[in-house]
Structure 1
Amino acid sequence: MSKTLELTRENAIAAYDQADKKFRTTLEILFGKDIFLKDVTQRLISFDAVCKEMGKSRMEYETASTNPDIISGMALAKWLLIVTAFNKSTAEVVNWFNSSQWKYVPWMVSNKAAPSGWSLRVVAGRLTRTDACARQHFLKKEHFEFAMTVPEFKEIFLTYFV
């Protein structure tokens, strides 16, 4: 007779924090080292890592289409999952009624000198409105800045936008 055990990530981390070195090694073998990394910027270093964090399959976000609109739409879906994964790591949620809460969004500005004709900038604001898709807003500036240093994430965003 077999039983399925369920263990939340939070409980696994609590056990890991209290474990001796030998038991930590056992937990790392069972669940993988990355589950015990508390800093989201250490865990979310690729789209595959984002999918794993969010319990999604990468195949849900892939397309064989050559239609630029379909490709852009899939890139938007990927980008929204990336933002959601970073925001999930905070204790906050985006609150559009809170004008004191900072929100960070990538913003493209036309630039004739750039190869694509666009330059990427960060827009930070405490507004209760947005000019971009509301779900594209990061709650922490350092998460936005980190995401833009990951080549795969930046390419996903640019594929969506350009």
Structure 2
Amino acid sequence: MKTLQITEANARKLYKDATPEFKTTLEDTFGKEFFSDKITDRVKTYEDACRVLGEAPLNELACFISGLTQDEIFYRKLKTITKALNEGWTPDWSDGDQKKWFPYFNTSSGFAFLVTYYSYSNPDAGGGSRLCFKTEALARYAGKQFVQIWDDLLRK
């Protein structure tokens, strides 16, 4: 018996035209959500976002040694997550009609996702302009799914 090694990228390519039996084998190996076309099914963790982008996760110890602060590491993680969820979309800050969505949080009693908000080219859009999303649904998802990283960024 031989062992077949396959990259995640090749598994995705093969899956599209695979027989039902081979699809089942691939799903058993990689998980059914791995083959979903929906980005929110594929990005549930920071590590998932790295995988989608083909990037290695941050080595936090190396980051600390190089002088990055904790909040800078959390910001980089959220930038990676945002980039993965937006699937290539980047905000056009010169387009005053383009909506850019942000999650907002309530910190009065703990830390919780509160609401999403969009901004056009509004000069008071708040911090984290690189952490905006192309849709309200993605901003809502990012605010809820990654609430701990947002909390770490904003409060630590």
The equivalent position to 1:105 in structure 2, one of 102, 106, 119, is: 102
After TM superposition, list the pairs within 5 Å mapping 1:14-93 onto structure 2: 15-28=14-27, 33-58=32-57, 60-63=58-61, 65=64, 70-88=69-87, 92-93=89-90
The correspondence for 1:131, drawn from 126, 142, 147, is 126
Aligned partners of 2:42 and 2:48 also within 8 Å: yes
3-state DSSP of counterpart to 1:159: helix
Q: Structure 1: state its 5+ residue gaps.
A: 1-6
The amino acid that maps onto 2:144 is T
Count of matched residue pairs? 146
Q: Which deviations, in whole Å up to 9, do the C-alpha atoms of 1:123-144 show, x marking residues without a partner?
A: 2122265432331111111111
Provide the C-alpha distance between the structure 2 equivalents of 1:149 and 1:119, rounded to a whole number of angstroms: 6
Aligned to 1:105, the other structure's residue is in SS state strand
Deviations 1:40-96 (A, max 9, x none): 1111111121121122222x252485xxx71111001101111111111x6x43111
Q: 1:36 to 1:108 in 2, by over 3 A?
A: closer
Report SS of the residue matched to 2:70: helix
TM-score, structure 1 as length reference: 0.70
- Paired residue type of 2:118: A
Which TM-score applies when normalising by structure 2? 0.72
Unaligned runs of 5+ residues in structure 2 are 1-6
Q: Which residue of 2 aligns with 1:4?
A: none
Q: CA deviation at 1:158?
A: 1.3
Structure 1 residues 142, 100: closer, same or farther in 2, change over 3 A?
same
